[in-house]
Amino acid sequence: MNNCKSFKAYVDKNSLVLILGSMPGVKSLEEQEYYAHPQNRFWKVMGGICQEKNLKDFSYEEKLKTLLKNHIALWDTIGTCKREGSLDSDIENETPNDIRKLLKTYPKISAIFLNGNKSYSSFKKYFPDLLEKYNCFKMPSTSPANARYSIENLKKEWGVIEKFI
């Protein structure tokens, strides 16, 4: 069982929405980059939202800058956990990130998008009051493990972000 630690939040004073994953997978932890697995569709989906069709090919720093330029912040619901491999279903001994503090620090954020079931269930467990206070959306996971969603369907579902940015 490996100890896993989330990355820092990517957010600035102009952020209007917050996307929360659960915990970075093995490839992301190795690369120290969110959504680093080449089969994860997150950057393709965000490319559509940010009007940058080649976003997936940008450098990591440019990807993050593009999100912030579009008022999108990025973090994880879980701060630390134990897990073997990358599956959310294998997460144990989780502790949440301090999402309340982040939201107080960045008061322009009005909507929270939870990337997948584990991000949503952990958020609901640790922050039930925030589900009432913010526009919160449980989104289909961009993980390659979520094969029942095509890239086109993911882009359509995730497109709701555009109403808030």
Q: Strands 72-76 and 17-21, how do they pair?
A: parallel
Rounded to an integer, what is the distance from CA 119 to the centroid of its chain? 8
Q: Is 40 a catalytic site residue? A: yes
Farthest-apart Cα atoms in the chain, separation = 40
Q: With the C-alpha atoms ordered 87, 120, 63, 46, is the resulting torsion angle positive or negative? A: positive
What single DSSP character describes residue 88?
Answer: G
Q: How far is CA 127 from CA 36, 75, 80, 103, 130, in A?
A: 27, 15, 16, 12, 5
Residues 35/92, Cβ–Cβ less than 8 Å:
no
Catalytic residue among 3, 14, 40, 115: 40
Residue 4 bridge partners (DSSP): 81
Q: Which residues are catalytic?
A: 40
